[in-house]
Amino acid sequence: MSKFPTANKSFGQHFLNSPTVIKKITSPLPEGCDAIVEVGPGPAVLTPHLAEYKKPLYVIEMDERFVEILAPVVGAENIFRQDALEFNWSDFLKTKNFKSVWLVSNLPYNVSVPLTLAFLRIPEITQMTLMYQKEVAQKILPNDLRNAMGSLHVLMQTQFDLSHVVYAPPGAFVPPPKVDSQVLNFKRKATPLIPLHEIDVFEVFIRLIFANRRKQLGGILRKEWGAEKANKAMEQAGLSMEIRAEALTLNQVLKLYETSSRYIP
């Protein structure tokens, strides 16, 4: 009989079962962190390893079946049984007064991107170690950046230093997913490339330029902004109207954002 309960497909559950991958995710403890939060701990696969650091440890878990398993590890009072997308980080951080949280998660693949974008907006989350479907991880941190620039990579790079942690094949999970997985580490920059209070405006901008990233950027911007404004913004950024968004560098994206703000209200 498996040590894991039946996976709930509606929660996107795949239970990690590889000691090698578990060790890679849960070590080392980031320097300076004063608390750990694990999202979607399930049957406490990662949780005991995180508890060994003797830091305040909290878990956010929707599935009530796991409360009994998690309570001896973290304490019943440290379990938030709710949807991580609806978790009130503001109240939690105000109550606990944590300044540097390490967030760890084998993310549910069906909500991995919305969760990541939510975490990005919480400055007290200073480090994250997160598991993704490999295809999504490659959009955040491509192995080869040539013609691979996209909105997820740009957004995360403005706030975090990114690094690869480990790959996880389907056999590392119970039940095995139909895809390969990858773990990434995010370390928040002391000085973000885009101020966090501007991130919503910046996200609208990059979603525009990467919506059709294989098309010529000049044509996309002329249609959206008008020819005169688009031409001026691209010229000031030192970009050809024929360049495709996927071929941009991070610095070029940031320069275009800076110049476009002079012409686009």
* pLDDT tens for each residue of 142-171: 999 888 999 999 999 999 999 999 999 999
Give every residue of the chain whose pLDDT is below 70, as ranges: 1-13, 263-265
CATH 3.40.50.150 domain position(s) in the chain = 9-188
By C-alpha distance, which of 153, 163, 63 is closest to 116? 153
Amino acid at 177: P
pLDDT of residue 261: 86
pLDDT of residue 109: 87
pLDDT of residue 2: 44
CATH 1.10.8.100 domain position(s) in the chain = 196-263
β-sheet with 181-188: strand ranges across: 79-80, 57-60, 35-39, 101-106, 125-133, 181-188, 160-168
**Number of other CB atoms surrounding residue 160 within 10 Å:** 24
CATH superfamily of 9-188: Vaccinia Virus protein VP39 (3.40.50.150)
By C-alpha distance, which of 48, 50, 58, 52 is closest to 95? 58
In the three-class reduction of DSSP (H, G, I as helix; E, B as strand; rest coil), residue 262 is classed as helix
Could you say which architecture CATH assigns to the domain 196-263?
Answer: Orthogonal Bundle (1.10)
pLDDT of residue 13: 66
pLDDT of residue 3: 66
Alpha-carbon span 247 to 234, nearest angstrom: 14
pLDDT of residue 91: 96
